[in-house]
Structure 1
Amino acid sequence: MTRFTLALAASLGLAACLPAGADAVPSEYLAIEWTLVSINGQPFTATGKIDLSTPGSIAGQGPCNRFSGSYDGTLPEFRPGAIAATRMACPDLAAESAMLAALAEMTRAEVTGPVTLLLTGAKGGSMEFARPMN
């Protein structure tokens, strides 16, 4: 066998071991946590963060609770599945509910500038996030 054939066989063998949806996440999405700035063009005054750095996974922090789940699609395609959240109460629980409800409606995730992540939905909704500054 030639080296090329061996390398190809090894590559195919490794690719077969990866879970479905384990495509590489484009580097522009790899900010550890993006900070929520607005929902549907309205400022989000509470604290909200999202992390898309693991292929197929969503994680984050709302004003009160941490959440996690999965999404289908290869970014920028983005179809969230069920989102699980801890159940702590706080004064900003309504803002958190709005955040999670909006997230469930999103269908696309795009980095639109050096520091902006824009999630958009099929019904016209949007969520704008900013990259944390170091």
Structure 2
Amino acid sequence: MTRHAILCGSAPDGFTQKKINGMHDFLTSETSDFWAEKEITIFPNGVDESMLSFVLERLKADKTEQILLYVCTLSPVSDEDKSVWLGGDEIHKSLIETFCANGCGQVIYDCGREVVRDDMPEAVLN
């Protein structure tokens, strides 16, 4: 089975949200069948809508059977929200809903304000 995870965060440049690191660690662990690094794409500082759309379309064109889209914002996402914000970029939820309608993907919305410096994983900012 071909699979791919896209982890989208909202951390400032030079930082990564702790929850993005946690999801990566989970995916590459025995608990979730050891996803390979090549099966995971990380946008720790946000991603614009055109790039996200391009990546999703590319995965569909490559006939990827399972796609996980993990969206980690700085504040909770409600069902009523029309969009989410990732690193200053607005992503319309309609793009994500269209992706989900094709049946090959799963979307997880999460939020987390704790970030770690990319060059010092143990240093945490709140």
Q: TM-score, normalised by structure 2?
A: 0.26
Q: Name the larger-Rg structure.
A: 1
Ranked by relative contact order (alpha carbons within 8 Å, sequence separation 6 or more), the top structure is 2
Greater helix content: 2
